[in-house]
Amino acid sequence: MPYMPLPNQPQKKKKNAKKLTPHALFSRRVTVLTSVFVVICIVYLSILITLQVTGNSYMVYKDKTDLPEGLTEQTVTIQAMRGEIYDCHGLPLVTNRYSYDLTLDYDPFFTELGVSVRNQTLLQLAEPFSSAEAGTLCENFFPLFGSYPDLTYSDQAQDENSTVAKKLSKVLIKNELSPTASADALVAYYVNKYSLGARVDGIPAYSNEQITQLIRLYYDMDVCDFGGTAAEYVLAKDVSAAVISANKENALPGVRFIVRSERIYHYPGYASHILGRVNQIFAEDWDYYNALGYPMDAIVGVSGCESAFESILHGTDGQMTIILDANGRTVSSEVIKQPIAGQDVRLTIDIKLQIAAEDALRARLEQEGSSSVKGSVVAIDPNSGAYLAIASAPTFDASTFQEDYDRLASDKNLPMFNRALSGVYNPGKLLHLRTAVAGLTEKIVTPSSLWKDQNALTVEGHTVLCPLLYVQDDSHGLLGVSTALIDGCDVFFGQLGLKIGQQKMNQYETLLGFGQKTGIEIAEGEGSVSSLNADKNLLLFKAAIGESDLTCTPAQLCASLASIVSGGTRYRGHLLYEIRNFTSGDVVHRTPKELMSFYTLTEENKQLLIRTMEQLAQKNDALSEQSDRLKNAGISLGCIGASAPSGTSEPDHAILLAYGLPTVQTSGNNYGAISVCVVLENGVDPSSASSVVSSVMNEYYK
């Protein structure tokens, strides 16, 4: 089946969840659809009585000459349910939760209601939310403590680095108050602006408790820039059916109940860089989505898989016509176009492996004495190009992204940046492996070749020494590819590189996937191949020993090792495993393997490299025990690492590549191969990444 391309789009945890069988998935979906249908009926029959079905942007008013006098017709969009996201085993990662918000529209609420009626309306609307069962009143950043008239700034408001203080500063500027305005001045502003000190027959119109409540609400509206950039204000979230029912008889201008679809992250804090987020359409993207027929306030994917698979997940909205009388009450309604739910996406990611990778990376970076606070892990299936895990640290929690945004945006360690896919590094002496692959494949060197170690090698004034000279009085003497890789001998690989030549050197860099994207559906970096010049052997020499300007992402390094493990075949990287029907769970598309490049790594040459990396794993104290355990299970574990130059005054980066490869198929042994790359920025010693590799292998081969 040919690869089904997705439309081009603009670039912008619960741990013990049960695996859903097809039958369970079908039953679950039938239950969800039935529940949603019942809820929609209730909501439409009650809320439409007061014209409050969805946002105004969903309504299209039509002039009907054939309607009896006093009746009007509205066409209302019925939002389609968004498809959900699962891991490769069917465990839910992102699903939907439907709730109802009590909202205000600025124009009718502030233009059609006098200030006293508006105040009483707000108090009436807010009153039920003293009970947690009614819902949540939206007061997120109130800077005052106490009760009117004894309101003072809270500790958070006085901490200039807190979100509350930053919001307060913006509100003061918005209302043309002094940046150093006192709490009394802020309170006096709201009391005067909204006539909260009014009296009726000499008696205060509002109690102190009511004044406090109104100040909180009006302040929160200012925080949200209600009437400025925001035409809608959410007064309360997760409104109960009782509150909806209690308000259905009132036709208050600007007061609406809105059905909200919320994305639920089943593993909060995990896979956030991969899954991405949804939001209302950004202004700069409106033309694109408008051309696709999206309403202006539609919810769309803005990053990660939510964005990459938007066309699959979104679905098709339906329509309903409603006939209203002169008082805005519903006379009749008819669904003229049924909504079609989006389809589900099943990723190649194994969430348990993802959790193991993220936990191990976090633990390593938090380890006492660690010089690194940033890093990444990538795991790929060499036989398909499927990404099994993608971890980047520091990270964030997609379920609380909005609340955490200010902190995340100001963090100098860039937690929103996906280092695994977009971080670009110089791999240093890991490029010895590329030089070895090119030399072996081009038959310049063989598994049995032994070359004389010249102690030192000078090319155009640049000299490198045999690494053994730093620890003893003599060099290797005679050595082959395996020993040169194990000891990191620049003299050997410098000679080999000069024999390979610049054209072949760049060719193998490309075959291994450097200087190009892996093909994954979400944003990734590209890196570059070595800059070579036919007139300068020094550039070729430096490229051969890992001192060129070649840069790559951890994902590209992982893919290059995967191609070696698979014998020279490199597949397009992908996250989309399959697409399933939302209701039935039937598979409607499965991503096929797509060849990106191929070179003939003979079995003899492959085994030489595999045995060499096995020896390196045995020499690694943290991996030797793991290597023995896997060997007993018929699995080869190998690794190769390097301290890669950071390019700054900061310490070198630690990079460790590792693989797992079944060598003996036994009864019940269904393990596959895996390629892993771990990067610890400024971590210096590649062996420091061994604990992360060990955790990944433990989970994958448990």
CATH number for the domain spanning 366: value is 3.40.710.10
Task: For residue 10, name the pLDDT band (cuts at 50, 70, 90).
Answer: very low
Closest CA to 336 of 522, 76, 665, 641: 76
- Is the same domain home to 91 and 176? no
How far apart CA 357 and CA 393 sit, in angstroms, is 11
Letter string b/e over residues 388-399, b meaning 16 or more CB atoms within 10 A of that residue's CB: bbbbbbbbbbbb
Together in a domain, 445 and 589:
yes
* Residue 51: pLDDT band with limits 50, 70, 90: very low
- Say if residue 67 is in the same domain as residue 121: no
Give pLDDT, residue 466. 86
Note the pLDDT of residue 30: 53
Does some domain include residue 458? yes
Same domain for 577 and 554? yes
What's the total number of domains in the chain?
A: 3
pLDDT at 65 over 80: no
Q: What token pair was written down for 167?
A: 């919001």
Strand partners, 248: none
Which of 54-58, 472-476, 537-541 bottoms out in mean pLDDT, i.e. has the lowest? 54-58
- Indicate whether 463 belongs to any domain: yes
Q: Could you tell me the CATH number of the domain that includes residue 28?
A: 3.90.1310.10
Shared-domain flag, residues 126 and 233: yes
Query: How many other β-carbons are positioned within 10 Å of the β-carbon of residue 553?
Result: 28
pLDDT at residue 128, as a whole number: 83
Half-sphere exposure of 417 (CA within 13 A, CB side): 14
Of the listed ranges 199-208, 279-288, 513-522, 675-684, the one predicted with least confidence: 279-288
Contacts 24+ apart (CB under 8 A), 630-636: 630/660, 630/697, 630/701, 633/669, 633/671, 633/701, 634/662, 634/663, 634/664, 634/665, 634/666, 634/669, 635/660, 635/661, 635/662, 635/663, 635/671, 635/701, 636/610, 636/660, 636/661, 636/662, 636/663
pTM for this one? 0.78
Task: Let me know if residue 470 belongs to a domain.
Answer: yes
pLDDT value of residue 13: 40
- Lowest mean pLDDT segment, chosen from 19-28, 173-182, 398-407, 465-474: 19-28
Q: Is residue 198 part of a domain?
A: yes
Q: What are phi and psi of 580, to 5 degrees?
A: -125, 150
Do the beta carbons of residue 598 and residue 99 sit within 8 Å? Answer: no
Please give the structure tokens belonging to residue 423. Answer: 């971080």
- % the chain with pLDDT above 70: 87
User: What is the sign of the dihedral through the CA atoms of 430, 436, 439 and 442?
Assistant: negative
Q: Predicted confidence band at 139 (pLDDT cuts at 50, 70, 90)?
A: confident
Residue written as token pair 């109130």: 142
pLDDT tens per residue, range 509-563: 999 999 999 999 999 999 999 999 887 899 999 999 999 999 999 999 999 999 9
Residue 17 confidence (pLDDT): 42
Q: CB-side exposure of 143: number of CA atoms within 13 Å?
A: 27
Residues in the chain: 702
pLDDT of residue 256: 79
**CA terminus-to-terminus distance, the chain:** 33
b (16+ CB within 10 A) / e for 249-283: eeebbbbbbbbbeebebbbebbbbbbbbbbeebee
Residue 88 lies in a domain: yes
More confident call, 40 vs 493:
493
Q: For 59, how many CA atoms within 13 A lie in the half-sphere containing its CB?
A: 14
**Overall average pLDDT of the 222-245 stretch:** 86
The pLDDT value recorded for residue 422 is 97
For residue 444, give the amino acid letter.
I
Quick one: 575 and 466 in the same domain? yes
pLDDT in tens, 349-364: 999 999 999 999 999 9
Beta strands in 651-701 (DSSP E): 653-662, 674-680
Per-residue confidence at 700, pLDDT binned at 50, 70, 90?
very high
Average pLDDT over residues 566-572: 97
pLDDT, residue 565, reads 96
- The mean pLDDT value for 170-196 works out to 96
Residue with tokens 């609340």: 403
Return the pLDDT at 66: 67
Cis peptide before 394 (omega within 30 of 0): yes
Average pLDDT over residues 331-344: 88
3-state secondary structure of 366: helix
Is residue 187 domain-shared with residue 243, that is, in the same domain?
yes
pLDDT bin (cut points 50, 70, 90) of residue 216 is very high
**C-alpha angle 194/200/203, rounded to 5°?**
105
pLDDT at 301: 94
Q: Do both 188 and 78 map to the same domain?
A: no
Average pLDDT for residues 10-35, to the nearest whole number?
47
Environment class of 21 (CB within 10 Å of its CB; exposed 0-12, middle 13-18, buried 19+): exposed
Averaged pLDDT score across all residues of the chain: 87
**682 shares its domain with 594:** yes
Q: Which residue has the tokens 């939907």?
A: 96
pLDDT-derived band at 297 (thresholds 50, 70, 90) equals: confident
* pLDDT at residue 22 in the model: 46
432, part of any domain:
yes
Tens digits of per-residue pLDDT, 413-427?
999 999 999 999 999
**Whether 654 contacts 688, CB under 8 Å:** yes
Work out the average pLDDT over 51-80.
Answer: 58
* Residues 438, 310 share a domain: no
The yes-or-no verdict on residue 245 having pLDDT over 80 is: no
Q: What is the pLDDT of residue 44?
A: 45
Question: Do residues 536 and 658 both lie within one domain?
Answer: yes
> For residue 38, which amino acid is it?
V
Give 283 or 357, the one with higher predicted confidence: 357
Which range of 25-29, 417-421, 474-478, 664-668 scores highest in mean pLDDT? It is: 417-421
Res. 8: pLDDT tops 50: no
Residue where a domain terminates, one of 343, 374, 402:
343
Q: Is residue 281 part of a domain?
A: no
Domain that holds residue 560: 351-700
Q: Which of 326, 343, 360 is the last residue of a domain?
A: 343
Confidence of residue 671 (pLDDT cuts 50, 70, 90): confident
Q: Maximum CA pair distance of the chain?
A: 107
Continuous segment of H or E residues that includes residue 116 = helix 115-126
Non-local CB neighbours of 82 within 8 Å, separated by 6+ positions: 96, 261, 263, 278, 299, 313, 314, 315, 341, 342
Same domain as 209, residue 143: yes
Cis (ω within 30 of 0) for the bond into 149?
yes
C-beta separation of 641 from 619 below 8 A: no
Instruction: Give a yes or no: residue 107 inside a domain.
Output: no
For residue 61, pLDDT beyond 60: no
Q: Pick the residue with more confidence: 210 or 140?
A: 210
Position 396 scores a pLDDT of 96
Give yes or no for residue 3 having a pLDDT over 60. no
pLDDT value at residue 88: 97
The answer to whether residue 45 scores a pLDDT higher than 80 is no
